[in-house]
Chain A
Amino acid sequence: MDSKELLTQGNNFLQVLPHCKKLGMKVITASKGQATIELPYNPEILGIDSHGYVHGGILTTMMDTVCGFAVTSALPAQEFCPTLDLRMDHMRRASAKGSIFAWAQCYKITRSICFTRGYAYQDDPDDPIVHCVATFVRSGKAWGKGGFVKLGAEDLLL
């Protein structure tokens, strides 16, 4: 799949995830194993009203989403991969001034696990708000009609 197809697939994917849709997340760059998503400013996502900072939970939601999409884009076939664990390090606060961007990379895939890393930023990717590492479990199953269907062995040989 080329970058343009991945971008379309990513945005279609976010449109069917109710929480991502509600937040207005968009995939803005995508290539095999890498993606960037954008989250527009919304006063409902602030941590403390009067402080004007976006809540850490929103950043975790962005990182879980973009890491998950990086996994999807790296795998040879569509495969359901729930998050196993995720760690966030907060360098500084995200101000409520405009969009937040989150970039992630799926840097290693084994037969069972996908390893990802990423960060979120506002104006400058070299001055990130958070760093994140997350791992995802390969289920060996894809979305099918009415549920999940098993993938063939050739799809899992990574």
Chain B
Amino acid sequence: MKLKQLIESSKLQDDYSAILDFIPYAKFIGVTITQDKNGWLFTLATEPNNIGNPITPALHGGVIAGFMEVAAALGQMLTSQHPTIPKIINFSIDYIRAAGVKPTYARCSIVRQGKRIANITVLAWQKDELQPIATARAHFLLGEEV
């Protein structure tokens, strides 16, 4: 199935598992996609294997970054008129608060979507969206339609 059709049918059914099935890493860390009144919401499940620091305990910083990169790529794909699989150019993350072992959420904003390059920012939080645990910025190279 073409990517555009896959995205359209997922939106119709409000079930994005078919998209996530194509992304082994997203399943590996436990990402899910939903929509609420503010737009796309990405959730990282509480998964003991995502722990980086067992003493505090806290999620691995790399998992938070990976989750936010997945969210940025999916956010770009889901909102694009001509979806392609975005290829990461660079990714920058600022860690703001310790991330406990609890559900983590992310929302992204498409700052600029050009013909070839997209600039996406991502905010991640746990208890309160106004108290983020991390912010990130990603540049993606946009390829051919699949």
Contacts and interface: CB of A to CB of B under 8 A. Distances in A.
A87 B24 contact: no
Interface stretch (A47-55, A107-115, A116-124, A150-158): A47-55
Given A57-B65, A61-B65, A90-B90, A17 B22 contact: no
B53 A86 contact: no
Interface residues of B, number: 37
B66 A60 contact: yes
B63 A88 contact: no
Interface residues of A, number: 38
A35 interface: no
B95 A85 contact: yes
A61 B91 CA distance: 12
B78 interface: no
Contacts, number: 122
B134 to A, nearest CB: 9
B103 interface: no
A19 interface: yes
A16 B54 contact: yes
Interface in B51-108: 51-55, 60-63, 65-67, 69-70, 85, 87-95, 98
A51 B69 CA distance: 17
A38 to B, nearest CB: 15
Interface in B1-57: 21-29, 48-55
Contact of A65 (B21, B29, B62, B91): B62
Interface of B: 21-29, 48-55, 60-63, 65-67, 69-70, 85, 87-95, 98
Given A22-B49, A47-B23, A56-B88, 5 more contacts: A45-B24, A58-B66, A61-B62, A84-B94, A86-B92
Q: Which 7 A-B pairs have the closest CB atoms?
A: A57-B66, A61-B62, A55-B25, A19-B60, A60-B65, A64-B62, A87-B92
14 contacts: A20-B52, A45-B24, A46-B24, A46-B25, A47-B24, A48-B23, A57-B65, A60-B65, A60-B69, A87-B91, A88-B90, A88-B92, A89-B89, A90-B90
